[in-house]
Amino acid sequence: MPGTQPADIDQLRQRISRLEGERRVAGVLPFGLNLIDSRLPGGGLALGALHEIAGSGKGAVDGAAAGLFAAGIAARSDGLVMWCARPGDLFAPGLAQGGLPPGRVIHVEADDDKGVLAACEEALRHGGLGAVVGEVARLSMIASRRLQLAAEGARTLGLMVRRWDTEKAAVQFGLPTAAMTRWRVTSIPSAPLPVPGIGRARWRLELLRCKGGQTAEFDVEACDGQGHLAVSAPLVHRPVAAADERHRAAS
């Protein structure tokens, strides 16, 4: 277009990015692992945003790995954590071993998904918490957008742990939501020990969706007592340059 100033183009770009829901950056919460952080825009999980986590297979029903992954993230956030769920099977000593001591968690019991979502929205809008974890089965586009909007403007992390009544219902995880990232956590066998026993738990983390980033997959060792993940031994020894090469070729 003749006569168009670069400033106008910039303005237009800004308007478009506003329309697309590009948010003011409230900062990120890095995982502390270059492997994961390098794949996330800004170098970590966006604060003041909504993130979805689910398990796979039986994990989609029991929500154990997804729950502990969320607990580990929440543990590294700054402040109190509100955990909204239907009354059920969350076991606080287990959370404490994932880095969330009982003094930091406020539990909220709701009757149904709707109650959980309403409580989460209220807590996210409040803005004074470090993280808000909600356990729901259904998360519609409208509900997730409400949560995302409530989370914006503060530094509270919104973590939605999706768990369903049956493994089949987990196909809902393919439906779009307004969440910034979407993760699937699968338990994989731990590294064999030289003695009888179980080693540190390992997860396959799949980053299924990431606004402004690409999907990725990581094999990591599960949360330690402070909520930190670790890189599995075989990956540490993998030649870094080769991985980067492949990444560039694919993009």
Partner 1 sequence: MSGTAPPPDVPLILKGSDGRRRVVLAADRAAEAGGIRVGMPVAKAQVLVSHLVIHDADLDADAADLETLARWALRTYSPLVAADPPDGVVMEISGAAHLHGGEAALLEGLVQALADKGFEARAAIAGTWGAAHALARFIPKPVFILPKDTGGRALPSLPIGALRLSFGMAESLHVLGFETVGDLLAQPRAPLVHRFGPLLGRRLDQMFGHLDEPIDPVDLPDVIEVRRRFAEPIGAPETIARYTGKLTQQLCDALEDKGWGVRQADLLFTRTDNRIEAIRVGLAQPMRDVKRLTRLLCDKIETVDPGFGIEHMRLIATAAEPLPHRQVSATDDPAPGLATLLDTLSNRMGAERIYRLAPVESDVPERSMRKMSALGEASESAWPSHWPRPVRLLSKPERIATLAQLPDYPPKAFTWRGVRHLVIAADGPERIFGEWWRRDAEMLAVRDYFRVELTTGERLWIYRSGDGEDDKTGSREWFLHGVFA
The token pair that represents 127 in the structure block: 């803005």
Q: Which is nearer to partner 1, 95 or 137 (CB)?
A: 95
105 binds partner 1 (CB under 8 A): yes
Q: 72: Cβ–Cβ under 8 A, 6 or more apart, which residues? A: 98, 99, 222, 223, 227, 228, 229
Choose one: 144-152, 168-176, 181-189, 240-248; the region binding partner 1 (CB under 8 A): 181-189
Residue 65 backbone dihedrals phi, psi, to 5 degrees: -65, -45
Token pair listed for 24 = 């003011």
| The only residue of 11, 13, 16, 91 in contact with partner 1, by rule CB under 8 A | 91
Only one residue has tokens 């330690």, namely 224
96 binds partner 1 (CB under 8 A): yes
**Whose Cβ is closer to partner 1: residue 192's or residue 239's?**
192
Least separation, in Å, of the C-beta of 187 and partner 1?
4
- Shortest reach from residue 188's CB to partner 1, in Å: 4
Q: Which of 24, 248 has the CB closer to partner 1?
A: 24
Give Cα 6 to chain centroid, integer Å. 38
Which residues, numbered 188-217, are part of the site for partner 1 (CB under 8 A)?
A: 188-190, 192-193, 196-199, 201-203
Query: Would you call 9 helix, strand, or coil by DSSP?
Result: helix
Q: Can you list the pairs that 18-26 forms with residues at least 24 positions away whose Cβ atoms lie under 8 Å?
A: 21/148, 21/178, 23/48, 23/49, 23/152, 24/152, 26/152, 26/153, 26/154, 26/155
If binding is defined by CB under 8 A, does position 80 make contact with partner 1? yes
- Taking CB under 8 A as the rule, does residue 232 contact partner 1? no
| Interface stretch with partner 1, choices 25-33, 44-52, 120-128, 144-152 (CB under 8 A) | 120-128
Of 14-22, 28-36, 179-187, 240-248, the segment contacting partner 1 by CB under 8 A is 179-187
Q: Choose among 195, 188, 166: nearest CA to 232.
A: 188
- Contact between 127 and partner 1 per CB under 8 A: yes
